[in-house]
Structure 1
Amino acid sequence: MSLAAQARGSWQRGDSVFLLLAGLWLALTAGLRPLTAPDEGRYAGVAHAMLQSGDWIVPRLDGLPFFHKPPLFYWIAGGAMRVFGVHEWAARLPSVLGAWLAAAALYAFLRRHGDARQARWSALILCTCPFFFVGAQFANLDMLVAGCISATIACAADALLRRDAGAPWRLPLAGAFSGAALGLLAKGLIGLVLPGAVIVLWALLARRGRTALRLAAWWPGWLLMLAIAGPWFVAMQLRYAQFFDYFVITQHFRRFADSGFNNQHPLWFYLPVILGLCLPWTPWLLGWLRRPAADGVTPSSDDRAVRLLMGVWLGVIVVFFSLPRSKLVGYVLPALPPLAALVAGGLARALRASDPAAQDLGETRTRRPIRALAATGGVAAVLCVAAVLVAGHVGTPPDARLRLPAGQAVAPGDRVVMLDRYYYELPFYWRLHGPVVVAGDWRPAVAQASDNWRKELADAGDFEPEARARWLQPIAAQPAQVCSGGGGTGRTWVVGPSNAQLIAPWVLGMDLVTFDSEIAVWRHDARPSDGADCLARDMTRGALPAWTGAP
């Protein structure tokens, strides 16, 4: 490595301040909006259940083992709730950290193998990209694994470039294996497979395949990865014999290859998603179409390798997630760091073309491009905040808006029943102390018919049949249990759709507590004199009045 490269890669106090400010910006609006249904409610609910039960090993959805994803998100979110309290921003902390990790990894890599301005502009573009900013404040697993994947790629590429330059490489390589281990714990095999595919393809195209092979064979790194990620997977397989088949075969390979899952989209789906949701930055990619100024600057081999890495990184992520029929917008978040770097490169080329005497982004003498750049950044920042506010308005589920009247609360020991639907957010907002009974049709033909909440709970119940029988019950069994008190305090709360009387007429015999246009809550306090038909004596107490816009 040349002295010039070492000088431009040296870390300074300003770099740390920049990354601190980036983290504060990403967390700015994390607590402003309610949880969005169903994803945020699902993952925040599993983390909240860990906190309430004290079981930090097995992720549980309504008391049942939930193995759609590994536990890293739940550990971070549950720990944040334990330290800071049960708030939306605590539930979103894993995503904020994942976004910051992605931005910091990109910044540190470009800081060492590019220059300070290139690193700073790339990170600024990334953090003010509306797609990335909203993803940083959305409580699901996509941004967390995106951060792990980004850190793994950046560390592995750094190690490879260092080794070829004769510089110390073991520490960044250990970081790459650690990042892969965290990626495995964040979302499974893609935490290892995707970074590996990016680095292998990049190394082959850059004619650095032998170096990549030597680094991949570094056995201390594999031991480190196994030490971090292995214990949880081994513990789950030892406890549940069907864990491997469900977690690896069903949730990875079948979900990737089959067509029986939700959110099916065409092959080209992610192209408009990325270009549209990353506005107003993506038009600067057109800067790559401009001929570079004849300024006498010849890119070094490292510079060419970095540009190639960003292109390969972006391409592998987009192609990989475009292949399966089931596509969610957040899947492609790991492609945004290299996209930001490429946008910064196109921006730099456009500015140089407008002023051939300029050598970099900070030396352009013409004010018009700088004003255009500042305007783009300002619009992007406004769009970031606006997108969060719009998401809060559009995505707020009815159960997040529903509050119990003053003086009423679900006490420990109360029985809670959800009618023919699982309201993911309700345990979080009601601060429930345990699982609820979900009353519905649990016949296999019905439960497995659609990829929805019913299938999630039915699949989870297969791991613990006794718990399934306790928490997944038929609707017809509820009146007798309501009248008997169902154990505990004798009080039962029933949550269901506002027209629940169509499937459960007996709710009309309970006391109506509160309701809105979509859901309602009823309560019954069992007494020793109640018979099995207590709800049939007065079928008017639970009737909903005409909806006027307020309960």
Structure 2
Amino acid sequence: MKRSTSASWTVPQPSWLIVALLTWLLATAWIRPLMAPDEGRYGGVALAMLRSGDWLVPRLDGLPFFHKPPLFYWIGAAAMAVTGPVEWAARLPSILGGGAAAAALFLFLRRWSTARLALLSTVVLVTTPFFFLGAQFANLDMLVAGCISGTVLLAAGAALAREREEPWRALLAGAYLFAAAGLLAKGLIGLVLPALVIAAWCAATRRLAALRLALWLPGWAVLLIVAGPWFVAMQMKYPEFFDYFVVTQHFRRFASTGFNNEHGFWFYLPVLAGLTLPWFAWVFVPRGADDSARHRQPDIDRLMWIWLAVIVVFFSLPRSKLVGYVLPALPPLAYLIAQRVLAGRSLEALLPRVRATTLAAAVVCIGCVIAVAMYASPPGTRLKLPAGQAVAPGDQVLMLDSYHYEIPFYWNLREPVLVSDDWKAAALDTRDNWRKEISDAARFDPAHAARTLVDRTQLADTLCVPRTTWLVGSNTAQLANPWLFRAQLVAVNDGLAAWRFAGSPTGDPHCLDAPLAPAPASAQSPGTHGDE
């Protein structure tokens, strides 16, 4: 073990630390169901990729889904190929992104700062509730945050090593590799944001010569070889891909005001302060008496301040804001908090307070996961079919007037579901919701969409067939669809219900015309009404 200047501060070897980081992030990744819509959506797309065997085109309900690139789905599908559809495997891409960010921060600071600051910064980062929950959440934000962190820290390390005439090419190649991963994780921000951070840092520290590393041809070869083929393949297969993925999902989305979650410019300041407690409270503790300039590292400090500012300002500019967008700002914030904790204080006297804050932060992390598990699980995660009933091969599943992302995952469906809605009106809807996602995806495969997107007026054609259909909809859906009284109610949970409809053995096109009266409550089996 390598020891810092105080015998009380033991710094583990990097390999052991990385194992500990991943163990901590994995420890609670299995205890709660997937949340809707994000976790159900991204976990479902990864599972669909595995089921279909098409590892090139991400698909939502069988339709090409180009909101984001495929890296998250590749990792999730590979994990589920081993484990099956379980929650922690669906969250593994985020866990790996969090592990990459924490490991990169530790290794960078261990080399260019002090061992104790490297260790404390990493501990602060992984026990910050915002970071911990981000790594436990199956969407793309933490994965791209890990890629951005790796790119920034490897590029900065390459610039510092080159100045000292130390080996730098492997570090810079790694930065380009992480940038390629960032492109495949969430698109252009995986390249643009690290470039902005490094360019601003080079300008602020008068390292203008280091900017020439941005033109390093071997690095660009790495980036293009790793990230280029998927984008080229999609453009060749789908001519509208560039306009939709680059123009709409990047530039129009950034500039538009028609998307959800609109907030003011100030939004991320309270988010960062509140979701990083109790560590953020150290910002208000006065510095120690011996916090002199000799303890500072101006180049590293400026890198972290610039990194934090670039991420927060960039995502504060558009009107649409989601909390997870600023996850890439957490590694530099963790460094700045750790620096404030250590500022001019005796290490021996400080250690009990650091341990207490770490324990409190870890308890908050676990408590947040438990709270989310108790209060934020969508109905579809608990809409279980009763024992002895299951969707058989050849059966069809139809969702009425809504798409519940998590149900294909939890019902372990191997085929896309049918979705009933007013699809002509949905195609004109500009709101950012499930209808728009599926309508947009339908543009890339109209033939498949014609088979799975069922207009409300065509329900009889879909259901009056010699085939069993499992229906999912609101538990009040019978008011708008009286023919549901012909179906067997098999499960009800939190406003959502499932029915089994036997269809018509003769293919009678009028099988929905004459609804039956509802069966008396005493005639229904108690076991068919709830979640088991």
Corresponding residue of 1:440: 421
Corresponding residue of 2:244: 246
CA contact under 8 A between 1:508 and 1:535: conserved in structure 2? no
Q: 1:128-184, CA deviations, whole angstroms, 9 ceiling, x for partnerless residues?
A: 000000100100000000000000001000000000111110000000000000000
- 1:144 is aligned to 2:138: no
- Report the alpha carbon displacement of residue 541 of structure 1 after superposing the two structures with TM: 5.2
| Inter-CA distance 517–532: structure 2 relative to 1 (3 Å threshold) | same
Query: What are the equivalent positions in structure 2 for 1:410-489 lying under 5 Å apart?
Result: 410-444=391-425, 447-485=428-466
Corresponding residue of 2:7: none
CA contact under 8 A between 1:437 and 1:473: conserved in structure 2? yes
Corresponding residue of 1:182: 181
Which one of the candidate residues 253, 268, 271 is aligned to 1:270? 268
CA contact under 8 A between 2:258 and 2:430: conserved in structure 1? no
- Report the alpha carbon displacement of residue 119 of structure 1 after superposing the two structures with TM: 0.6
> Scaled by the length of structure 2, what TM-score is found?
0.94
| Inter-CA distance 512–385: structure 2 relative to 1 (3 Å threshold) | same
How many angstroms apart in 2 are the aligned matches of 1:275 and 1:484? 57
How many angstroms apart in 1 are the aligned matches of 2:413 and 2:424? 27
- Report the alpha carbon displacement of residue 67 of structure 1 after superposing the two structures with TM: 0.3
Greater CA deviation, 502-511 or 251-260? 502-511
What code does the residue aligned with 1:205 have? A
Corresponding residue of 2:352: 371
- 1:331 is aligned to 2:325: yes
Which one of the candidate residues 366, 372, 379 is aligned to 1:398? 379
Query: What are the equivalent positions in structure 2 for 1:19-38 lying under 5 Å apart?
Result: 19-38=18-37
Corresponding residue of 1:228: 226
What code does the residue aligned with 2:517 have? T
- Report the alpha carbon displacement of residue 323 of structure 1 after superposing the two structures with TM: 0.4
- Report the alpha carbon displacement of residue 445 of structure 1 after superposing the two structures with TM: 5.9
What code does the residue aligned with 1:426 have? I
Matched residue of 1:57: which SS? coil
CA contact under 8 A between 2:102 and 2:122: conserved in structure 1? yes
Query: What are the equivalent positions in structure 2 for 1:511-522 lying under 5 Å apart?
Result: 511-522=488-499
Corresponding residue of 2:205: 206
CA contact under 8 A between 1:42 and 1:424: conserved in structure 2? yes
How many angstroms apart in 1 are the aligned matches of 2:36 and 2:117? 38
| Inter-CA distance 24–533: structure 2 relative to 1 (3 Å threshold) | same
How many angstroms apart in 1 are the aligned matches of 2:263 and 2:276? 20
User: Deviating runs (4+, > 6 A) in structure 1?
Assistant: 542-549
How many angstroms apart in 1 are the aligned matches of 2:368 and 2:401? 33
What code does the residue aligned with 2:483 have? W
Q: 1:239-262, CA deviations, whole angstroms, 9 ceiling, x for partnerless residues?
A: 001000000010001111100000
What code does the residue aligned with 1:125 have? V
- 1:97 is aligned to 2:91: no
Superposition CA RMSD, Å: 2.1
| Inter-CA distance 294–383: structure 2 relative to 1 (3 Å threshold) | closer
Corresponding residue of 2:38: 39
- Report the alpha carbon displacement of residue 536 of structure 1 after superposing the two structures with TM: 4.0
Structure 2, unaligned stretches of length 5 or more? 1-10
- Report the alpha carbon displacement of residue 522 of structure 1 after superposing the two structures with TM: 1.2
| Inter-CA distance 430–543: structure 2 relative to 1 (3 Å threshold) | farther
- Report the alpha carbon displacement of residue 13 of structure 1 after superposing the two structures with TM: 6.7
Matched residue of 1:484: which SS? coil
Q: 1:395-452, CA deviations, whole angstroms, 9 ceiling, x for partnerless residues?
A: 2000101100111111122111100000100000001111111000111466524210
Matched residue of 1:534: which SS? coil
Matched residue of 1:298: which SS? helix
Matched residue of 2:516: which SS? coil
How many angstroms apart in 2 are the aligned matches of 1:103 and 1:159? 19
How many angstroms apart in 1 are the aligned matches of 2:370 and 2:519? 36
- Report the alpha carbon displacement of residue 454 of structure 1 after superposing the two structures with TM: 0.3
Q: 1:237-287, CA deviations, whole angstroms, 9 ceiling, x for partnerless residues?
A: 000010000000100011111000001011000000000000000121235
Corresponding residue of 1:6: none
Query: What are the equivalent positions in structure 2 for 1:43-192 lying under 5 Å apart?
Result: 43-192=42-191
- Report the alpha carbon displacement of residue 83 of structure 1 after superposing the two structures with TM: 1.1
CA contact under 8 A between 1:511 and 1:542: conserved in structure 2? no
Matched residue of 1:443: which SS? helix
Which one of the candidate residues 457, 466, 473 is aligned to 1:496? 473
Which one of the candidate residues 283, 294, 299 is aligned to 1:298? 294
What code does the residue aligned with 2:227 have? A
Corresponding residue of 1:524: 501
Corresponding residue of 2:5: none
- Report the alpha carbon displacement of residue 383 of structure 1 after superposing the two structures with TM: 0.2
CA contact under 8 A between 2:150 and 2:178: conserved in structure 1? yes
Q: 1:263-318, CA deviations, whole angstroms, 9 ceiling, x for partnerless residues?
A: 1011000000000000000121235x6365177x7257xx2101110111111000
How many angstroms apart in 2 are the aligned matches of 1:194 and 1:542? 60
- Report the alpha carbon displacement of residue 117 of structure 1 after superposing the two structures with TM: 0.9
How many angstroms apart in 2 are the aligned matches of 1:477 and 1:129? 51
Corresponding residue of 2:6: none
Corresponding residue of 1:7: none
Corresponding residue of 2:308: 314
Work out the number of aligned pairs and report it. Answer: 519
| Inter-CA distance 393–433: structure 2 relative to 1 (3 Å threshold) | same
Corresponding residue of 1:534: 511
Greater CA deviation, 20-29 or 176-185? 20-29
CA contact under 8 A between 1:421 and 1:496: conserved in structure 2? yes
Matched residue of 1:173: which SS? helix
- Report the alpha carbon displacement of residue 473 of structure 1 after superposing the two structures with TM: 1.4
Matched residue of 2:470: which SS? strand
CA contact under 8 A between 1:265 and 1:327: conserved in structure 2? yes
Matched residue of 2:166: which SS? coil
Corresponding residue of 1:9: none
How many angstroms apart in 2 are the aligned matches of 1:183 and 1:543? 57
- Report the alpha carbon displacement of residue 510 of structure 1 after superposing the two structures with TM: 1.4
- Report the alpha carbon displacement of residue 232 of structure 1 after superposing the two structures with TM: 0.2
